[in-house]
A and B are shown apart, each in its own frame.
Chain A
Amino acid sequence: MIIDGTESSLRAYLKTLPPVDEVGAHARAAMLATRSIKTTSKSWAIDMAISMVDLTTLEGADTPGKIGTLCAKAVRPDAMDATVPSVGAVCVYNDMVKIARTKLDAIGGTSIPVAAVATAFPSGRASFAVKAQDTKDAIDAGAAEIDMVIDRGAFLSGRYGEVFEEISQIREICGDKAHLKVILETGELVTLDNVRKASYLAMLAGADFIKTSTGKISPAATSPVVLVMLEAVRDYYSLTKTRIGVKPAGGIRNTKDAIKQLVLVNEVAGPKWLTPKLFRIGASALLNDLLLQRMKMRDGFYAGPSYVTLD
Chain B
Amino acid sequence: MERIYVLKTYKLFIGGAFPRSESGRVYAVKDFKGKHLANTCQASRKDLRDAVVSARSAFPGWSGATAYNRGQILYRMAEILEGRTDQFIAEISALEGANPKAAALQVEESIDLLIWYAGWSDKISALDGSTNSVSGPFYNFTIPEPIGVVAVFAAAKPSLLNLVGAMASVITSGNTAVMVASEKFPLPAISFAECMATSDLPAGVVNILTGVSSELAPWAASHMDIDAIDAAGLSPKVLKEAQIAGVGNLKRIKTPPNIKSPKRILDFMESKTVWHPIGI
Contacts and interface: CB of A to CB of B under 8 A. Distances in A.
B225 A306 contact: yes
B225 A305 contact: yes
A300 B224 CA distance: 11
B225 A301 contact: no
Contacts of B222: 300-302
Contacts of B49: 302
Interface residues of B, number: 12
B164 to A, nearest CB: 27
A108 interface: no
A305 B55 CA distance: 12
A104 B219 CA distance: 39
A304 B56 contact: yes
Interface string B32-55: 000000000000000001001000
Nearest to B245: A301
B277 to A, nearest CB: 30
B223 interface: yes
A301 B48 CA distance: 12
Chain A, interface SS category: loop
Interface string B220-250: 0011111000000000000000000100110
B6 to A, nearest CB: 30
A304 B223 CA distance: 7
A303 B219 CA distance: 11
Contact of B52 (A300, A302, A306, A307): A302
A300 B45 CA distance: 12
A71 to B, nearest CB: 27
B57 to A, nearest CB: 9
Interface in A252-311: 300-307
A302 B56 contact: no
A301 B226 CA distance: 12
B106 to A, nearest CB: 35
Contacts of A301: 219, 222-224, 245, 248
A302 B248 contact: no
A307 B56 CA distance: 14
B186 to A, nearest CB: 23
A302 B44 CA distance: 13
A101 to B, nearest CB: 35
Contacts of A307: 224
Contacts of B223: 301-302, 304
Contacts of B225: 302-306
A306 B224 CA distance: 9
A30 to B, nearest CB: 16
A307 B225 CA distance: 9
A286 to B, nearest CB: 14
Contacts of B56: 304-305
Interface string A63-79: 00000000000000000
Contacts of A300: 222
A307 B49 CA distance: 15
Residue of A300, A302, A303 most packed against chain B (CB within 10 A): A302
A303 B56 CA distance: 12
Contacts of B226: 304
A303 B245 CA distance: 13
A54 B245 CA distance: 36
B60 to A, nearest CB: 12
A306 B148 CA distance: 12
A307 B249 CA distance: 11
Contacts of A305: 56, 225
A305 B52 CA distance: 11
Contacts of B245: 301
A304 B49 CA distance: 10
Listed residue (B224, B225, B248, B249) with the most chain A CB atoms within 10 angstroms of its CB: B224
Nearest to B49: A302
Nearest to A303: B224
Nearest to B48: A302
Contacts of A303: 224-225
Nearest to A300: B222
A304 B226 CA distance: 8
B41 to A, nearest CB: 19
**Residue in A304, A305, A307 whose Cβ sees the most chain B Cβ within 10 Å:** A304
Interface in B3-55: 49, 52
A300 B222 CA distance: 9
A302 B222 CA distance: 7
A304 B224 CA distance: 5
B215 to A, nearest CB: 15
Interface string B184-227: 00000000000000000000000000000000000100111110
A305 B249 CA distance: 13
A125 to B, nearest CB: 35
Given A302-B224, A305-B225, 10 more contacts: A300-B222, A301-B219, A301-B222, A301-B224, A302-B219, A304-B56, A304-B223, A304-B225, A305-B56, A306-B224
28 contacts: A300-B222, A301-B219, A301-B222, A301-B223, A301-B224, A301-B245, A301-B248, A302-B49, A302-B52, A302-B219, A302-B222, A302-B223, A302-B224, A302-B225, A303-B224, A303-B225, A304-B52, A304-B56, A304-B223, A304-B224, A304-B225, A304-B226, A304-B249, A305-B56, A305-B225, A306-B224, A306-B225, A307-B224
Q: Which 4 A-B pairs have the closest CB atoms?
A: A304-B225, A301-B222, A302-B223, A304-B224
Interface of A: 300-307
